[in-house]
Amino acid sequence: MTSEKLDRRKKYTRMVLKDSLMQLLKEKPLSSITIKEICEMADINRSTFYAHYPDQYALLTQIEDELIEDLKHYLNTANLHEEDEAIDMTVSLLDYFSSKHEECLTLLNEGADSTFQQKVTNVAESFMIKNWMDIYDFDQDTSKYISTFIISGGIQVIKMWMAKGMVQSPKEMARLINDLINKGVEGVR
């Protein structure tokens, strides 16, 4: 068999395994999901699963890490020094969350055995401290408190937006989030 066919097969197998795990995560926590269930849903045998992943936790980690790499890409292309650029970057992030709606909502679910929210928080925090907090010249502890407050609130707003069916446009939500961050509750009135 050619290398190209093997690569396509490998990609396909990993895709169906990821899709199967994501479907099962909508129904129950990872700790209750077996390899057998994943394989049955993916219509592959267990040995094929084990050729790609040691367990369901490694599969979930790969799914999370791929989403996190995408988030890093979005964040690294943004410049938060200007409000319009911050809004554009937030719109891009919301567009990304919208395009990966099911995966992100499933992984951000309170009942999930996922570390995805913590990974998102860590990426956003390091990005924020590196690119935003230095503008205001806060000490490290103050920067950490502020970034934790902003990021936690932002993640909760995004989760609520996705759970409610993303009725508002990404632009509307970006403006709301940025107004809350930059102007507080008074700026949203």
45 by Cβ neighbours in 10 Å (0-12 / 13-18 / 19+) ranks as: exposed
Higher pLDDT, 69 or 186: 69
Contacts 24+ apart (CB under 8 A), 139-144: none
The torsion defined by the Cα of 103, 107, 112 and 118, in degrees rounded to 10, comes to 170
Packing angle, helices 140-163 and 116-128, rounded to 10? 130
Res 134: pLDDT: 58
Lowest-confidence pick of 9-13, 28-32, 81-85, 172-176: 81-85
CB 76 within 8 A of CB 98: no
Structural contact between residues 170 and 91, judged by C-beta atoms closer than 8 angstroms: yes
CA quadruple 61, 62, 67, 68: dihedral sign:
positive
Domain 61-183 = CATH 1.10.357.10: yes
Q: Which of 19, 127, 153, 148 is nearest to 71 (CA)?
A: 127
- 120's enclosing H/E stretch is helix 116-128
pLDDT, tens only, 86-115 = 777 788 888 888 888 889 888 988 666 678
| pLDDT value of residue 69 | 92
CATH topology of domain 3-53: Arc Repressor Mutant, subunit A (1.10.10)
155 near 108, Cβ under 8 Å?
A: yes
**What is the pLDDT confidence band of residue 73, given thresholds at 50, 70 and 90?**
confident
Q: What is the mean pLDDT of residues 66-82?
A: 75
- Residue 157 confidence (pLDDT): 93
pLDDT at 80: 56
pLDDT at residue 97 in the model: 86
As annotated, the residues of the chain forming the CATH 1.10.357.10 domain(s) are 61-183
pLDDT at 59: 96
Label residue 25 by pLDDT band (50, 70, 90): very high
The rounded distance, in Å, linking the Cα atoms of 116 and 66 is: 11
9: pLDDT strictly greater than 60: yes
Query: Quick one: pLDDT at residue 47?
Result: 96
Structure confidence at residue 32 as a pLDDT band (50, 70, 90): very high
What pTM did the predictor assign? Answer: 0.80
pLDDT digits (tens, 9 = 90+) for 112-135: 667 888 898 888 887 776 666 556
Two tokens at 131?
A: 């690119």
